[in-house]
Amino acid sequence: MPTNNLHIVNGDSFGNKLSESGIEGEILVWRESLYEGPIGTGMTDSTLLSQRALYMNNRYGIPLDTFASQTIQQESRLDTLTNEVDEVVLWFEHDLYDQLMLCYLLARIDGLPRRSFQLSLICIDAFPGVDPFYGLGQLTVDQTLTLHGTWLPVATAQLDLARQVWTAYSASEPHLMAALLEQDLSPLPFLQKALEVHAARFPSMQNGLSAIQQLTLELLGDEEVSPSSLFQNLSEQASHYGLGDLQFFGLLNGLWHCEQPLIQVFGGDKLPSYNEAWPPQFENYRVKITELGKLILTCKQDHIFLNGIDEWIGGVHLLGRKNVWRQNAVRTGFAKL
């Protein structure tokens, strides 16, 4: 008897290839970036949804109605699964972006009342002949087809761990996450590295930069670098983040449009935003570190003391110039400075 499958995937590129492969089943592309913005235990809460829509609008120019309706639509699809499908297959990757999405969906689906369908998972960090491997979107249609039937049933231990992760990730203080990093995370084999990367998103004690901001400034050196080549280099050296170009532009904007800029961008007055084509002259844009950026990079100044911060890392809201949660580089954990 044929089964009625639903495949949940992380992006349109792979979703299209999965559709073309002939693997049977409905495809739901999960488009919510749980990597950023305000986060809570109940992501369908109307107040939280409004906060997230406003964040995405301010940061990326995503229209409020577009974000809200898209989120409501995909969340509603989950609520109707119980009586409609025989198996739900989750297709995800090893990076932080995907691991957070995976943990949310495992916890969310496991919490559905009267769940009778099989929940299965395929999660990979490599594919033969694809090197370097960044994600499923790199695969051809034929390569995608070879993965048919390789998914495995989700184990109870994986569901339990996913719930712990989401509770810790959505907490308003980072203590639960610090404790989780000391536990056995092996039921989800790529989670340890992903959560270490997540912890490194907090500003450092030494200069107020996150690890990805630090790396961005280091890659600039004393050169003027095009945004596209900088993004390529950053993607290669920080592949465990799973950054897209829109998130990268948001990162650059944070270093550029602060009170005392750490970088300057020449060639144009703004970086591309949501649903916006790159301008024809974009390849002529250049990014350069400022003298202040060099001082902060070498820990002679502090980014947060100078510019303040207003950022969400999971459920933790980093706000102001003092008494802000930072990653403690001397020992495991977090402290305020």
User: Which tens digits make up the pLDDT trace of 100-134?
Assistant: 999 999 999 999 988 889 999 999 999 999 999 99
Q: What values do phi and psi take at 92, rounded to 5?
A: -145, 175
Separation of alpha carbons 62 and 263, rounded Å: 25
Tell me the residue type at 238. Answer: A
Residue 162 is predicted with a pLDDT of 98
What whole-number distance in Å separates Cα of residue 178 and Cα of residue 176?
5
Quote the tokens at residue 73. Answer: 């639509």
Q: pLDDT band for position 332 (50/70/90)?
A: low
**Exposed (0-12), middle (13-18) or buried (19+): which is 286, by Cβ within 10 Å?**
middle
The whole-angstrom separation of Cα 304 and Cα 310 is 10
pLDDT at 73: 93
pLDDT over threshold 50, residue 262: yes
- Check if the beta carbon of residue 46 is closer than 8 Å to that of residue 40: no
According to the CATH classification, is domain 202-336 in 3.10.350.10?
no
The mean per-residue pLDDT over the stretch 172-185 comes to 95
Structure confidence by residue, pLDDT tens digits, 63-74? 999 999 999 999
Q: What does the mean pLDDT of the chain come to?
A: 94
CA atoms of 172 and 189, how far apart (whole Å): 26
DSSP letter for each residue of 212-276: HHHHHHHHHTTS-B-HHHHHHHHHHHTGGG---HHHHHHHHHHHHSSSS-SEEEES-S----TT-
Local confidence band at 1 (pLDDT 50, 70, 90 cut-offs): very low
**Does 5-169 match 202-336 in CATH topology?**
no
Annotate 23-81 with three-state secondary structure. CCCEEEECCCCCCCCCCCCCCCCHHHHHHHHHHHHHHHCCCHHHHHHHHHHHHHHHHCC
Give residue for tokens 């033969």. Answer: 128
Rounded to whole angstroms, the Cα distance separating 166 from 146 reads 32
Q: What pLDDT shows up at residue 75? A: 94
Q: Per the structure block, which two tokens stand in for 252?
A: 């650059």
Dihedral, CA atoms, 217, 231, 247, 219, nearest 10 degrees?
A: -10
Average pLDDT value for residue range 138-166: 97
Percent above pLDDT 70 for the chain:
98
Does the pLDDT of residue 226 top 90, yes or no?
Answer: yes
For 46-201, list the strands marked E by DSSP: 87-93, 118-124, 152-153
Alpha carbons 137 and 142: distance in angstroms, whole number: 13
Q: What is the pLDDT, as a whole number, of residue 37? A: 95
Distance of CA 70 to the CA centre of its chain: 18
Whether residue 330 has pLDDT greater than 80: no
| pLDDT (0 to 100) of residue 331 | 59
- pLDDT tops 60 at residue 151: yes
* Choices 3.90.380.10, 3.40.1360.10, 1.10.8.640, 1.20.1740.10: CATH for 5-169: 3.40.1360.10
Domain boundaries, the chain: 5-169, 202-336
Instruction: Give whole-number Cα distances, 104 to 39, 99, 100, 172, 208, in Å.
Output: 11, 9, 6, 17, 29
